[in-house]
């Protein structure tokens, strides 16, 4: 018997430019009418690319996906800085375009922007001050000074250099603002700069190549259930164990189960990414039943399994 496909999981949407991340949810919501819906990581209206939409129980894993590394391709214009740090803002400063060649620009960028660093978020951002988003305060003319915070640049490369424009690819930690990166790259080259284009090409293991065009999603009779990515597939970086229905019931009741020594967790093979995984990802595992009617986040210690969070139990 084929199990029923329930309306839960993720949609990897290719967000178009010109709309907000929540606009994507507004377009999807009337089609599937979920009890719960969310997304993992806001893309500014100027941005395009991977936006993960979480449907129903999938919203319970949002913090794991929010903390996943993200890859972007961005275009930067040198010679001008704006109040929003992207091309939609008002110019606030100008400077000569850097008179350097590709190799010199690449070295200046990669030498300065690698590993952990402090980054000051844009004044126009969704970060809050006393409960009020900074962009609202900035629009009211209130002077805001976002606090610098630690971010990590795993990879950064210069793809193209045709002054006054540069195109870069970067793999960064959660919380990194590419608008701020563009601004700071301008300063690093003794100029000013602003972001003109942005495409998010990856969130964790989800890529732009497999993303769904939202116009196709909302204007065809495609069965959305068949497009949903199972919740466990979004957590492929976590070790996993397969359990019986009886063991699932025990975990549901808050009891501890013991794994046979001959059945250790399956550890995913992730090349060159262990250092970029959130700490909670390295300490937890998934417990699931073969028929996909139970999924839980668990902690394993000495073959003893304890429930951390029930994601779903049918």
Residue 109, classified by CB atoms within 10 Å of its CB into exposed (0-12), middle (13-18) or buried (19+), is buried
How many other C-beta atoms lie within 10 A of the C-beta of residue 227? 14
Host H or E run for residue 9: strand 9-15
Q: What is the rounded end-to-end Cα distance, in angstroms, of the chain?
A: 16
Distance between CA atoms of residues 147 and 150, nearest Å: 10
Distance between CA atoms of residues 33 and 70, nearest Å: 29
140 contacts 164 by C-beta, under 8 angstroms = no
278 contacts 270 by C-beta, under 8 angstroms = no
Distance between CA atoms of residues 232 and 261, nearest Å: 24
Tell which residue, 77, 70, 206, 83, has the closest CA to residue 151.
Answer: 70
Sheet strands side by side (includes 285-288): 240-242, 285-288, 294-301, 304-313, 257-258
Distance between CA atoms of residues 10 and 303, nearest Å: 31
- The separation between CA 64 and the C-alpha centre of its own chain, rounded to angstroms, equals 9
Catalytic residue numbers, as ranges = 44
298 contacts 285 by C-beta, under 8 angstroms = yes
Count helices and strands (H / E) in the chain: 9, 19
* Token pair listed for 161: 């250099």
């Amino acid at each position: 018997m084929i199990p029923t496909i329930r309306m839960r999981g993720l949609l990897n949407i290719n967000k178009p430019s010109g709309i907000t991340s929540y606009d994507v949810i507004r377009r999807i919501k009337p089609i599937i009418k979920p009890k719960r819906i969310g997304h993992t990581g806001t893309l500014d209206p100027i941005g395009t690319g991977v936006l993960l939409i979480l449907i129903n129980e999938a919203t319970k894993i949002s913090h794991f996906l929010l903390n996943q590394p993200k890859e972007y391709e961005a275009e930067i214009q040198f010679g001008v800085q704006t109040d929003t740090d992207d091309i939609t803002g008002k110019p606030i400063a100008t400077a000569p375009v850097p008179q350097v060649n590709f190799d010199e620009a690449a070295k200046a960028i990669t030498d300065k922007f690698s590993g952990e660093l402090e980054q000051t978020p844009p004044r126009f951002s969704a970060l809050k001050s006393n409960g009020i988003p900074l962009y609202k305060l900035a629009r009211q003319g209130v002077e805001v000074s976002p606090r610098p915070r630690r971010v990590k640049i795993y990879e950064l490369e210069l793809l193209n250099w045709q002054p006054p424009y540069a195109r870069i690819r970067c793999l960064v930690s959660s919380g990194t603002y590419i608008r701020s990166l563009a601004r700071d790259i301008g300063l690093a080259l003794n100029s000013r700069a602003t972001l003109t284009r942005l495409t998010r090409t990856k969130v964790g293991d989800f890529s732009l190549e497999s993303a769904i065009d939202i116009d196709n999603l909302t204007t065809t009779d495609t069965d959305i259930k068949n497009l949903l990515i199972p919740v466990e597939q979004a957590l492929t970086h976590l070790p996993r164990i397969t359990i019986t229905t009886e063991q699932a019931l025990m975990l549901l009741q808050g009891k501890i189960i013991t794994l046979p020594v001959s059945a250790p967790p399956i550890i995913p093979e992730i090349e060159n990414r262990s250092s970029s995984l959130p700490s909670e990802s390295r300490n937890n595992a998934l417990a699931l039943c073969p028929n996909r009617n139970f999924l839980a986040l668990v902690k394993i210690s000495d073959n003893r399994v304890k429930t951390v969070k029930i994601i779903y139990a049918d």
